[in-house]
Copies of this chain bind each other. A is one copy, B any other.
């Protein structure tokens, strides 16, 4: 029996990809094992449990989202930065619905949990997107939460098929970006 040459990172990456393909709810240890060419119990040499796998996928997803948003904001400020961040975030969620779904409803276990750091990174990227707006110190956390709620809510609702009727969804999102921009401008 030749070795498969697996590492935790390989397993997690394959799990994230599989979750994107079949949906997080249908991501099973057996399916993942088959995907990486190994028997189910062997996976437990690399991840502690399915919950552990989920957390690692979540950390990966948050880091990737932070990269996407951070990269999009690079060199921009004000409305351009805001729009770029929002679009990058939504695109990431729509492209990777499974791994993003892994991030909802899981709390970091402690302050040294990689997920916590990844979440901070994503938050930092959104903070950078607010650079250029005149936001009072006491309002910045509120604005950040507003922006995160807006992007998270829209992307997850769309990803779940929540927008059913006719109006064009992309158009709604652009409208929403302009709405947030106008609001942030007049503070």
Contacts and interface: CB of A to CB of B under 8 A. Distances in A.
Given A150-B150, A183-B182, A171 B142 contact: yes
Interface of A is mostly: helix
A156 B104 contact: yes
A145 B176 contact: yes
A38 B4 CA distance: 48
A139 interface: yes
B154 A145 contact: yes
Contact of A142 (B107, B146, B175, B183): B175
A161 B151 CA distance: 17
A62 to B, nearest CB: 11
B104 A161 contact: no
A179 B151 CA distance: 15
Q: How big is the A interface, by class?
A: 35 or more
A105 interface: yes
A42 interface: no
Interface in A97-121: 101, 104-107
B160 A145 contact: no
A153 B148 contact: yes
Given A148-B157, A153-B156, A154-B153, A142 B172 contact: yes
15 contacts: A141-B165, A142-B167, A142-B175, A145-B154, A145-B172, A145-B176, A146-B150, A146-B172, A148-B153, A148-B157, A149-B154, A153-B153, A153-B154, A179-B183, A182-B186
